[in-house]
Amino acid sequence: MSDFEGLKALVTGGASGIGRATAELLAARGAQVAVLDLDPSSVEKPLLAYRADVSDDASVRAAVAAAAADLGGLDVLVNNAGIGAQGTVESNDDEEWHRVLDVNVVGMVRVARAALPHLRASAHAAIVNTSSIAATAGLPQRALYSATKGAVYSLTLAMAADHVREGIRVNCVNPGTADTPWVGRLLDAAADPAAERAALEARQPTGRLVSADEVAGAIAYLASPLSGATTGTALAVDGGMQGLRLRPVGQ
Ligand SMILES: NC(=O)c1ccc[n+]([C@@H]2O[C@H](COP(=O)([O-])OP(=O)(O)OC[C@H]3O[C@@H](n4cnc5c(N)ncnc54)[C@H](O)[C@@H]3O)[C@@H](O)[C@H]2O)c1
């Protein structure tokens, strides 16, 4: 499929996991792709790489301007960079709340703000934000992380309304637990990584973790010019975790 032929895309957090799979998929489908990441050292051609911290407005503005100049414009923004946080409301102090909100929510605002002037010039402008099933389901030990992803979901709706008449579509994906380096780090830190993986897999009706490629496929669907009538939606890519209620096996 070459639905992205001639389009220019920017993917934040594109050096790893979901972002990396997305950058590679968009490139395979014809886009010229720039990656913005804290550590883009592993990013290889044909992807372009820009170092920036989404919690630093100056570095975001510089990287987005450089990417748009090198690509010759911007049609697609994938706002995907994010970090995790664990615990209940009692587990993290104010500083940590501000830090994670700053990266996961304000980070997307900063990149969108810098990208919007370029997107307005596109005939096929689309933004896809990476939210999470944590925005729509109550998961234990994820108070801070869930608050940030709920904010990303609401931000997606508000941005979709603000920019629909400018021809800019805004949607988000809500992945379930995805098999990325991030989840690998979480499993490595668990007392019993095999048991922890089994518990995460069992939580999903499909009985397995979501792959980064599957999330990338959903992001590409939402970003594609073929989806011109789709804006203000959240697409679950969670192995059925949000919508299905199964009976125990054998019952
Ligand atoms: N893996 C999951 O289970 C899962 C589930 C739902 C949602 N998500 C979301 O998907 C997105 C990507 O997650 P992943 O699992 O691929 O993670 P990952 O850790 O594999 O990749 C995240 C990338 O973002 C970059 N990054 C982090 N902070 C940054 C910053 N301040 N500025 C610029 N870049 C930064 C990292 O360098 C890394 O390359 C995140 O927003 C995450 O919340 C992940």
Instruction: Give the nearest ligand 1 atom to 55 CA.
Output: 31
Instruction: Give the nearest ligand 1 atom to 15 CA.
Output: 39
Distance 124 CA to ligand 1 centre (A): 26
pLDDT value of residue 251: 79
- 154-160: long-range contacts, CB 8 A cutoff, minimum separation 24: 155/105, 155/108, 155/109, 155/129, 156/129, 156/131, 156/232, 156/234, 157/232, 159/112, 159/127, 160/231, 160/232
Distance 153 CA to ligand 1 centre (A): 16
- pLDDT class for 1, splitting at 50, 70, 90? confident
pLDDT value of residue 233: 98
- Ligand 1 pocket test: which of 61, 110, 130 has the largest number of ligand atoms within 8 Å of its C-beta? 130
Instruction: Give the nearest ligand 1 atom to 21 CA.
Output: 16
Apex 141 CA angle, 137 and 143, nearest 5: 65
Question: Ligand 1: does its nearest atom lie under 6 Å from the Cβ of 239?
Answer: no
What is the value of pTM for the model shown? Answer: 0.98
pLDDT value of residue 164: 98
Apex 4 CA angle, 230 and 135, nearest 5: 40
153 is catalytic: no
- Ligand 1 pocket test: which of 20, 130, 182 has the largest number of ligand atoms within 8 Å of its C-beta? 182
How confident is the model over 72-115, as pLDDT tens digits? 999 999 999 999 999 999 999 999 999 999 999 999 999 999 99
Which two structure tokens, joined as six digits, stand for 204? 């999903």
- 84-91: long-range contacts, CB 8 A cutoff, minimum separation 24: 84/145, 84/182, 84/186, 85/142, 85/144, 85/145, 85/148, 86/141, 86/142, 86/145, 87/141, 87/143, 87/144, 88/141, 88/143, 89/143, 89/144, 91/141, 91/143, 91/144
Checking if the pLDDT of 221 tops 90, the result is yes
pLDDT value of residue 145: 98
How confident is the model over 163-211, as pLDDT tens digits? 999 999 999 999 999 999 999 999 999 999 999 999 999 999 999 999 9
- pLDDT class for 248, splitting at 50, 70, 90? confident
| Minimal-distance CA residue to ligand 1 atom 8 | 132
- Tokens 């931000």 label which residue? 155
Question: Ligand 1: does its nearest atom lie under 6 Å from the Cβ of 54?
Answer: yes
Distance 90 CA to ligand 1 centre (A): 24
Distance 181 CA to ligand 1 centre (A): 9
How confident is the model over 110-155, as pLDDT tens digits? 999 999 999 999 999 999 999 999 999 999 999 999 999 999 999 9
Question: Ligand 1: does its nearest atom lie under 6 Å from the Cβ of 80?
Answer: yes
Question: Ligand 1: does its nearest atom lie under 6 Å from the Cβ of 19?
Answer: yes
- Ligand 1 pocket test: which of 11, 12, 38, 108 has the largest number of ligand atoms within 8 Å of its C-beta? 38
How confident is the model over 19-71, as pLDDT tens digits? 999 999 999 999 999 999 999 999 999 999 999 999 999 999 999 999 999 99
Question: Ligand 1: does its nearest atom lie under 6 Å from the Cβ of 40?
Answer: no
- pLDDT class for 249, splitting at 50, 70, 90? confident
Q: Does domain 8-178+211-237 have CATH number 3.40.50.20?
A: no
